[in-house]
Amino acid sequence: MLKVHDVSKSFGGLLVIDSFSMEVQPNQIVGIIGPNGAGKTTLFNIITGYLSPDRGTVTLDNHNITKKKPEKINRYGIARTFQLVKPFANMTVLENVMIGAFSHTSKTAEARRIAQEYVELVGLQNKANEKAGKLSLPERKQIELARALATEPKYLFLDEVFSGLNPTEIEEIIKLIHSIKELKKISFVVIEHNVRVISGISDKVYVLHHGVVIAEGTPEEVLTNQEVVAAYLGG
Amino acid sequence: MGKIQRNVLILLLIATIFIVGCSNSASSDSDSQEIIKIGVIQPFSGPNAQAGEETYKGNELAVENINTNGGLLGKKVKLIKADATNAQEAISEAERLITKEKVDIITGTYVSGVAYPATQIANKYGVLYWETNASAPNITQQGFNNVIRIGQYGVPMATVAVNSIKDVVAPALGKSLTELKVVIVHEQSIYGTSIGEIEEEELKKLGAKVKRIPYDAASADLSSVVNLSKNENPDIWLRTGYVNDGALLFKQARDIGWKPPVIMGQADDNAYLLEALGDKGMEGILSISYPSYDMNEKYAPGIKDYLDSYRNKYGSEPKIPQTLVSYGGTEILFDLIKEAKSTDANKIREAALKMDVKIGGTYPTGYGVKLDPKTLDNTRAFPVLTQWKNGEIKTIYPPEAVGTDAKIELPLRGW
Amino acid sequence: MGQIIISGILLGGIYAIVSYGLTLIFGVIRVINFAHGSLLMVGMFMAYYLSKGMNLNIYLMMLIVVPLMFILGVLIQKYLLSKVINEPDMQLFVTFGLLLLFENVMLAVTKGEFFSLDMNMGTIPIGSLVLDWGRLINLVAAIVLAILLLLFLNHTKIGWAIRAVSQNRYAAGIIGLRVERLYILAFGLGSACIGIAAVLLTPIYTIFPHVGFNFVIVSFAVVILGGLGSIPGALAGGMIIGLLESLSGYLIAPELNQIVWYLLFLLVLFFRPAGLFGIAGSEEGGVK
């Protein structure tokens, strides 16, 4: 279980995350929702080791991983994608995914085998040998996903993975995430500002507003919460 | 990065920039009327520090000599060192010598790029700049009447190259001048070009066939120069350049197994080329050289005394020929001061313009004296021709200068 | 003419081998290493002094110079460049400072003198044409080193890591790659490549504190021409420039031997910044 306890972070006196706590169970999809500037990406950066919290702890299956470096945290089984999709443009799709696989094998052949599995899993097997830089945006998001999966994480953090996609494409990625969850039994933590997307995918939702959790619960509970409606509808 | 670390880094940068330079020792002795002060501008720090120091030793020995023999005009001569490695330092050091140290005369300079700006400051104050060593053409082309170059420069160097081809090289090959084919290769800055052009012109006048090929001394490859030269199948390969390009040129000729019957270079008598090509590689290569230490005492009177006093004072053999050149040049200056009875630039110039000394037989460099009235260059500062023999340099021309039993041996036979 | 083409190819080998270190360091760390030429110079002096001091064959010095240069590179990245990893301007200052430091220290040590090894290794005649051993050894080494680097980059985990981190520092971090360590390793490897080049060039050239300058502009041109970070590109770029220089020196004039490739270099910079062999849009770079 991934536990975030009482985490705070401020930049130059501005409190960006204020006493945030959450729990992610194995094989669960947790959504973090909030308007722009709510502190979602900062939270991701803290959990995945790119930023140090001023206060609070992050524990994974009873290991304290607070303030550890990203590559260390990755070895505990946490992977992430980035808001700005950045595959290795000069490498092929398969090679991109191999990079991920190298996090737990040293053999090129082994890495290739693992990568092939995940390339197929995200449905890119037909484009495996094309340069990543030439692919469309949804395809590049699939590469990101496959590469993160190839590190074989227990928890996968997706930062705005749906942005820039049309409704059909969003639908496909949601299906993909669900099937991966069933197949690989891993947990997802998803950042999103689109309410409809997040409610369609999450088992549990946290609503962040100016660094504070203003609601948590199942999508249904959260969406009926007055404060949430106010935050979103500008009340 | 912390502030302290950054400051340390910046300090490091600044310190690095100033590693070269900045070791002036300003002396402020009482300004006695009983002393003739001569400022010596040389690079005493930085890359040319050793050469600057060695060149200075020539001044030092000449001054010691004159002071033990009663001084000049009844006064003692005193040298004041000024360290300049670049144009900025040359300007500020020349200013200091004249305005603070109140020197009567300035002399120098191993580096032409230092001499050029320094002469301009000397000109501003009307102080004599007595140039014993720098050879760049521009130094005496400024129309200054207080800058006299007593040492050798492009014109005599090219002249001796041509004369020696006419007098000893062609006969040694058994060819007449009109049968000779010469390829001149030179680095393309003003140094190599000015010499190469005079050589071309003069050799053509003598009826030789000449091809001239300029090249870039900083080039990493000179195979095109070598191949173009080889295509001409010349009798003589005549070169003017620096050390690193010379080594590369000779090595690349060796690499394609081409050695012309004669290789002659300007100042290719240095130990660096010997290290690069070895005794065997340099064997027989001719060089237009500074007056060499194996010269005949008759041609270069005082050279034995000079060598003795150098060994006594510094405990070693002279390291570079420029020491002798500055020594001989300083002696000429002292003769002129005696003649003019003054250290005034105008009076010395008048005396110098009247001076007419034939080449050989007077000064330990073998130089004669006859100034070009326009540029105040010494047209009789004649170098000698030397040849590499078993890793040593032997003077072989002019015949009067030859102090050993060395004879020219040509043609060259393979590397 | 055949001799000119041979000279060009051999020169190409020299230009290629001096460029691998630059392309590797630039490709991975995105630092324009102004100290490239002075590192080459330092390596050449190491090779020279060690070979003279121990009276051993210069090529054996590879065993000492290359590790020493690797360590020097590691120290530079670990204690200098990594301190300013997020400040590109400061990185330029650091490499420029190193250039001044190395050159001035060597000037102070050598007093501006010139040093050469007299290695007359002889020549190999092929009909009417001649090859010299020093440059031939260098050419073979340039090709072998390119192959080894490619094998390393494409078939080892560390190689993959270097390629990944060269393309995207942030993404590389999250998938378990230690960015800082890889940077240190890359600078070390780049410097080791410079060390290899230094040993191979020592028998060919005269060594003095500014000798690196003769190779700096050309190696930047090679790297741009071949595509930033591309090892085969550096080999091909070196060959193109070597041949152009040799041919234009012979057919036009020796004093203009660098003009032609310089023009090509400028054209490529303007119209195809990814290099002749790079993929358009891949100026973003990375090693390959």
pLDDT tens readout for residues A66-81: 988 888 888 888 988 8
DSSP helix, strand, coil percent of chain A (3-state; round to 5)? 40, 25, 35
Q: Which residues of chain C make contact with B188, given a CB cutoff of 8 A?
A: 255
Task: Return the residue of A nearest to C228 by Cα.
Answer: A90
Determine the distance in angstroms separating the CA of B216 from the nearest CA of chain C, rounded to an integer: 5
Do B93 and B47 have their domain in common? Answer: yes
pLDDT of residue B19: 45
Which portions of chain A are predicted below pLDDT 70? 85, 233-235
Do B279 and B310 have their domain in common? Answer: no
In a domain, B18, yes or no: no
Q: Neighbours of B (≥3 Cβ pairs closer than 8 A)? A: C
Task: Return the residue of C nearest to B193 by Cα.
Answer: C255
**pLDDT per residue as tens digits for the range B172-201:** 999 999 999 999 999 998 889 999 999 999
In a domain, B37, yes or no: yes
Residues C262 and C273: beta-carbon distance below 8 Å: no
Q: Please judge whether C206 and B276 are an interchain contact, meaning their C-beta atoms are less than 8 angstroms apart.
A: yes
Q: Please judge whether A86 and C170 are an interchain contact, meaning their C-beta atoms are less than 8 angstroms apart.
A: yes
Nearest to A90 among C155, C178, C286 (CB): C286
What the block records as the tokens of A87 is 């595959």
In a domain, B345, yes or no: yes
Q: B19 versus C204: which is more confidently predicted?
A: C204
Which residues constitute the domain of residue B165?
155-289+384-401
- Indicate left, alpha or beta for B284 from its phi (over 0: left) and psi (-120 to 50: alpha): left
Number of domains, chain B: 2
pLDDT of residue A85: 64
Do B367 and B276 have their domain in common? Answer: no
The predicted complex's ipTM stands at: 0.87
Nearest to C175 among A105, A108, A151 (CB): A151
**pLDDT per residue as tens digits for the range C60-102:** 999 999 999 999 999 999 999 999 888 888 999 999 999 999 9
Q: Which of C156, C158, C170, C174 to mutate to test the interface with A (most CBs of A within 10 A)?
A: C174
**pLDDT per residue as tens digits for the range B276-305:** 999 999 999 999 999 999 999 999 999 999
**Three-state SS at A32:** strand
CB within 8 Å of chain C, chain B residues 249-268: 251, 254-257
Task: Please report, for chain C, the start and end positions of each structural domain, with discontinuous segments joined by +.
Answer: 2-118+125-284
Do B91 and B216 have their domain in common? Answer: no
Task: Domains for chain A: give ranges and CATH numbers.
Answer: 2-77+154-233 (3.40.50.300), 89-152 (no CATH)
Chains C and B touch (3+ CB pairs under 8 A): yes
pLDDT of residue A226: 81
**pLDDT per residue as tens digits for the range C168-199:** 776 666 566 778 889 999 999 999 999 999 99
**Three-state SS at C79:** helix
Do B191 and B272 have their domain in common? Answer: yes
Which residues fall within 8 angstroms of residue A232, CB to CB, at 6 or more apart? A35, A195
What average pLDDT does the segment C257-266 reach?
Answer: 89
Do B284 and B314 have their domain in common? Answer: no
CB within 8 Å of chain B, chain C residues 141-180: none
Q: Which residues of chain C make contact with A104, given a CB cutoff of 8 A?
A: 176
Q: Please judge whether B12 and C101 are an interchain contact, meaning their C-beta atoms are less than 8 angstroms apart.
A: yes
pLDDT of residue C160 exceeding 50, the answer is yes
Cα distances from C104 to residues A8, B9, B42, B289, C78, in angstroms, run 51, 16, 19, 30, 23
Hey, is the C-beta of B5 within 8 angstroms of any chain C C-beta?
Answer: yes
Q: Which residues of chain B make contact with C254, given a CB cutoff of 8 A?
A: 213-216, 219, 222, 224-225, 228
Q: Residue B260: give its domain's CATH number.
A: 3.40.50.2300
pLDDT of residue C184: 95
Distance CA A69, CA A79 (A): 13
CB within 8 Å of chain B, chain C residues 71-130: 80, 83-84, 87, 90, 93-94, 96-97, 100-101, 104-105, 107-108, 111-118, 120, 123, 125, 130
pLDDT of residue B329 exceeding 50, the answer is yes
Do B246 and B281 have their domain in common? Answer: yes
In a domain, B111, yes or no: yes
Q: What angle separates helix C133-155 from helix C20-29, to the nearest 10 degrees?
A: 20
Q: Please judge whether C214 and B218 are an interchain contact, meaning their C-beta atoms are less than 8 angstroms apart.
A: yes
pLDDT of residue B20: 42
pLDDT of residue B23: 38
What average pLDDT does the segment B131-154 reach?
Answer: 94
The residue ranges of DSSP E strands in chain C, in sequence order, are 123-126, 129-132
Sequence letter at residue C135:
R
Mean pLDDT of chain B: 91
Q: Please judge whether C250 and B50 are an interchain contact, meaning their C-beta atoms are less than 8 angstroms apart.
A: no
pLDDT of residue C175: 61
Nearest to C116 among B216, B221, B276 (CB): B276
Determine the distance in angstroms separating the CA of C253 from the nearest CA of chain A, rounded to an integer: 40
Percentage above 70 pLDDT, chain B: 92
Q: Please judge whether C213 and B218 are an interchain contact, meaning their C-beta atoms are less than 8 angstroms apart.
A: yes
In a domain, B11, yes or no: no
Looking at domain C2-118+125-284, its CATH architecture is Orthogonal Bundle (1.10)
What average pLDDT does the segment B148-168 reach?
Answer: 96
In a domain, B310, yes or no: yes
CB within 8 Å of chain C, chain B residues 17-36: 17, 19-20
pLDDT of residue B25: 38
Do B104 and B118 have their domain in common? Answer: yes
Q: In which element (H, E) is residue C147 found?
A: helix C133-155
Q: Which residues of chain C make contact with A102, given a CB cutoff of 8 A?
A: 157, 160-161, 175-177
pLDDT of residue B31: 45
**pLDDT per residue as tens digits for the range B76-89:** 999 999 999 999 99
Could you tell me which residues are beta bridge partners of residue A30? A189, A204
Task: Return the residue of A nearest to C179 by Cα.
Answer: A71
Could you tell me which residues are beta bridge partners of residue B124? none
Q: C275 versus A186: which is more confidently predicted?
A: A186
pLDDT of residue C287: 64
pLDDT of residue C117 exceeding 70, the answer is yes
**pLDDT per residue as tens digits for the range B25-72:** 334 444 446 899 999 999 998 778 888 999 999 999 999 999 999 999
Q: Which residues of chain A make contact with C175, given a CB cutoff of 8 A?
A: 74, 79, 99-100, 102-103, 147-148, 151
In a domain, B5, yes or no: no
Q: B21 versus A16: which is more confidently predicted?
A: A16
Q: Please judge whether A100 and C173 are an interchain contact, meaning their C-beta atoms are less than 8 angstroms apart.
A: no
Cα distances from B130 to residues A222, B191, B330, in angstroms, run 95, 21, 8
